[in-house]
Amino acid sequence: MNEEFHYRVGWRATSSHPGHHPGMQSGGGFEFNGLVPFTSQPDPRNLDIRAMIADPHQQLMVKSFRQRAAIPVFLLADLSASMGFIGKTVKTALLAEFAAATAWSAWRTGDPFGLYVCDEGIHWDISLPLRLHKGLSDELHNRLMHFQPKSNNADGLLEAASLLGKQRALVFLVSDFHWPQGQIEAILNALIRHDVVPVVCWDSGEYENLPSFGLARMQDPETGQRRLLFMRPALLNTIRERFETRKQELMQICIRHGREAFFLLDRFDPDALTQYFYHS
């Protein structure tokens, strides 16, 4: 059974397609938008007799309502090398689970969904065009789950950002964000016209499941560089502190660009993501 979460946006959709979200266009909604002459919206069901009597010209007036509308929902997924980390969980499996939940939740809300899977370019074979999808197919879910990340960059995300169109969209940007700050700023700036939810995919094994004493061989998953470290309690604490500092840095960067980051740590909790939208 697919996981489901609920989301909302704080802006008005411009789409003419009926949906769940507050819209800008007049139509058959329930949000009162003022009185207009009958000639501009000739719907006798919305006639306001009191307004007509109060009008010195006694012209027919109707109540105008705003129509609720659909919004585009995109998921931009980073599958560069560091997303291949396996610790307490498998990051690619966590990404596949989140993608399936997002596609299903968008369909249940009545919104079109698009998926771009990227490393140094866009993987079109495991991406989806923007349309109404009833979740992810089993084949696509499995391909995401078993993808073997190898590339040392995620520049394809910038290309994907340019393909989202001019209509404002809700964009889930999923990555571990193990990038330089300049690269994070670049992708968030490229998505500035959209409502971006940064989803930080971390595994606690990256900083918790380390030996407290002895030699340990470490490898940077992005560059492939290996180092032999003499682990000791002080170094272990330093590594943990740096991850906590990094978390705070990411939070500040994301807030400056519109939203707090949502952390996927070891597992996906759809209720926590719903709370993120309704209590932020």
115 pLDDT exceeds 80? Answer: yes
Chain segment 171-195, per-residue pLDDT in tens: 999 999 998 899 999 999 999 999 9
> Average pLDDT, stretch 201-226?
67
Name the packing angle between helices 181-190 and 233-256 (round to 10°).
20
Domain with CATH 3.40.50.410 in the chain: 73-279
Starting at the edge strand found earlier in the chain, the sheet holding 73-78 runs: 128-131, 113-118, 73-78, 170-175, 195-202, 262-265
The b/e string for 27-37 (b: 16+ C-beta within 10 A; e otherwise) is bebeeeeebbe
pLDDT band at 59 (very low <50, low <70, confident <90, very high): confident
The strand pairing partners of 199, in sequence order, are 174, 262
Chain segment 146-176, per-residue pLDDT in tens: 999 988 889 999 999 999 998 999 999 999 9
Chain segment 85-105, per-residue pLDDT in tens: 888 899 999 999 999 999 999
pLDDT band at 215 (very low <50, low <70, confident <90, very high): low
Q: What are phi and psi of 161, to 5 degrees?
A: -60, -35
Determine the Cα–Cα distance for residues 277 and 2; give it in Å rounded to an integer. 19
Question: What does the pLDDT read at residue 86?
Answer: 86
232 pLDDT exceeds 70? Answer: no
The strand pairing partners of 32, in sequence order, are 65
SS (H, E, C) the chain: CCCCCCCCCCCCECCCCEEEECECCEEEEEEEEEEEECCCCCCHHHECHHHHHHCCCCCCEEEEEECCECCCEEEEEECCHHHHCECCCEHHHHHHHHHHHHHHHHHHHCCCEEEEEECCCECHHHCEEEECCCCCCHHHHHHHHCCCCCCCCCCHHHHHHCCCCCCCCEEEEEECCCCCHHHHHHHHHHCCCCEEEEEEEECHHHCCCCCCCEEEEEECCCCCCEEEEEECHHHHHHHHHHHHHHHHHHHHHHHHCCCCCEEEECCCCHHHHHHHHHHC
Is the pTM value of this prediction over 0.75? yes
Return the CATH number of the domain spanning residue range 73-279: 3.40.50.410
